[in-house]
Amino acid sequence: MLTLSIIAPLLAVVIISLLPSSQKDKPNKLLMYISMAASIISMIASFVIAGQFSLENENFQLTETWFLSSLSGINWSFALDGLSFGLYILTAVLFPLGIYYSYVSLEIRSKQNEKPHREKLFWSSLLILETSVLGVFAAQNLIVFYVFWELMLVPMVLLIGIWGGKNRKYATIKFFIYTFGGSVFLIFGIIAILFFNTDGKLSFDITDNLIMSLNNFPKHIKHYLFWAFIISFIIKIPAFPVHTWLPHAHTEAPTVGSVILAGVLLKMGTYGIMRFSLPFFPMVSKIYTNFFMLIGVIGIIYGAWLAWAQTDVKKLVAYSSVSHMGYIILGMFSGNIIGLSGAYMQMINHGISTGLLFLLVGIIYDRTHTREIDNYGGLAKLSPVYAIIFMIATLSSVGLPGTNGFVGEFLILIGTFLTSPIITVFAVTGVIFGAVYMLHLYKQVFWGKPSEALLKVKEKISLNITFKEAIITVPFVIMIFWLGIKPGLLLDTTKAVLQKNISQSQNIQTNMNIGENIKAVDKKENIEKSGEGS
């Protein structure tokens, strides 16, 4: 089932590439049906998996093994555990929505005499993107993880580079260089694991054995490896000093690209930290905890300030992403189960709420072709349903109690407080800033008198949201409230594995400490003996 859901989009790509390409003014329905069918198949398959998923099991489950390779250690097998389960389902749900939205968007654009543009490649890229993201979350082997991690680059570069906005060339190159540069460190780190491993039989499978043998490495090596892994991940998140690719990529990407980027691609970075950096190198990450918490807090406040200063709606949402990802970093490095599960919750939340925000911005952009906040105003009167949905998304993003955003942020802040109260004080200010810029945006766009630009657009095309578009947003809204009211649903899936990881890390730490104490005692005895001798 797992393999089916990963491979189904890829099969659809094969079918699509065999179809003859036709240049028409209208979007090709057949292509949409094929891609929808593939993504819905993988969604249904993922629901079947969800039914089989056991909450008590803390290890990988539902394993499906394909190609075993004892020589290279690259075993092609897929499995899920508590860490990847929620993200996997989120991905599988998000893609059909994104794909359907793209079709609706193409329809609306074709009404305004915009010809669809290289459709076959477009649908193929989306589907390959789905495969790669699902593969990243289901990979049970470091190299397989890396394969899908890199595969993600190709469709994303195409999506931004071909169907992007005006500055797409710059944005694409920046995106490519940042992420590829990061992943080179990752592959070097992965292969270096082989080198320092002494028993010579290590495979790249992510198992407890791997974690144990990693902890026997020399100390400085562990530091290097930790950085090799984490550089790649914090670029993808993106955390504060390396976040600059994100606003450009988000702004220039087509709407579906932004939705996927915010919804699941950024989570690959945080997922990587939770899956690899923290359990693999518990000692080292303990040392750098304060550093990363600082990065997180800077990200929160800096992202919020920049978001407030933006005049472009999409850029504002993009910078709000930087701010939200700061919370996730805080939660992950807090090192206790409350913070970690908060971070996990926030990963899903951010995917839902920011994904919805980008989707909504895209919906209106299809009609107005402008993203400047100044061109908007009074949209609530022209498009009331749209205004309501946008309000829900805004409140979820701000973290109003009752929506999902609140639960995540609250857990993170509690978790952080247990570790580092001072940093929490600064982090809390981010909540206020978040409310400020989001509500400011809402006020500017929706309230007041309808602006001239909007009225002009209204003469050509109805600003009111269509039924099809409304349908797409419904699942998001449901998820926002459902997770807001019943967060246990999500937290239960990940509790077991988080507890296991934390206790494992503590074990390793105590073992290390005991080991060092023994060494120290030995040394002392030696010195004493030599002292006696002389």
Positions touching another protein (CB under 8 A) are 21, 67-72, 74, 76, 118, 121, 143, 146-147, 150-151, 158, 161-162, 169, 176, 180, 184, 188, 191-192, 194-195
Instruction: Please give the structure tokens belonging to residue 292.
Output: 């990363």
Token pair for residue 257? 């690209």
Residue with smaller CB distance to another protein, 169 or 486 = 169
- Report the alpha-carbon distance of residue 34 to residue 92 in Å, rounded: 16
3-state secondary structure of 372: strand
Write the DSSP symbol of residue 139.
Answer: B
By beta-carbon proximity to another protein, the closer residue of 157 and 304 is 157
Q: Nearer Cβ to another protein, position 111 or 169? A: 169
* Sequential DSSP letters for 384-395: HHHHHHHHHHHH
Look-up: residue for tokens 């982090």?
427
In the complex, minimum distance from the CB of residue 216 to another protein, in angstroms, rounded to a whole number: 17
User: By the 8 A CB rule, do 327 and 344 touch?
Assistant: no
* Least Å from the CB of residue 404 to another protein: 35
| Residue number, 195 or 467, with CB nearest to another protein | 195
**Is the CB of 147 or the CB of 373 nearer to another protein?**
147
Q: Which is nearer to another protein, 64 or 150 (CB)?
A: 150
Task: Look at residues 174, 206, 171 and name the one whose alpha carbon lies nearest to residue 79.
Answer: 206
Kindly report the backbone phi and psi dihedral angles of residue 221, in degrees, each rounded to the nearest multiple of 5, phi listed first.
-60, -40
Cβ at position 277, least distance to another protein in Å: 21
Integer Cα distance of 45 and 41 in angstroms: 6
Separation CA 42–CA 46 (nearest Å): 6
- Kindly state the greatest CA–CA separation across the chain: 101
Closest separation in Å from C-beta 458 to another protein: 29
CA-to-CA dists, residue 37 to 8, 100, 124, 125, 351, angstroms: 9, 11, 13, 15, 23
Paired tokens of 348 = 């899903």
Which residue's CB is nearer to another protein, number 76 or number 482?
A: 76
Question: Measured from the CB of residue 128, what is the shortest distance to another protein in angstroms?
Answer: 12
A 10 A CB-CB count for 489 gives 11
- To the nearest whole angstrom, how small is the minimum distance from the Cβ of residue 183 to another protein? 10
Pairwise CA distance, residues 387 & 394, whole Å: 10
Which is nearer to another protein, 151 or 283 (by Cβ)? Answer: 151
Euclidean distance between the first and the last CA atom of the chain, given in angstroms as a whole number: 72
Torsion sign, CA atoms 85, 87, 92, 94? positive
Q: Do 59 and 122 meet the contact criterion of CB atoms below 8 Å apart?
A: no
Q: CB of residue 378 vs another protein: minimum separation in angstroms? A: 35
Shortest separation between residue 79's beta carbon and another protein, angstroms: 18
Strand partners, 141: 205
Q: How far is the CB of 312 from another protein (least distance, A)?
A: 23
DSSP string, 172-221: HHHHHHHHHHHHHHHHHHHHHHHHH-SSS---SB--HHHHHHHTTS-HHH
Minimum distance from residue 117 beta carbon to another protein (Å): 8
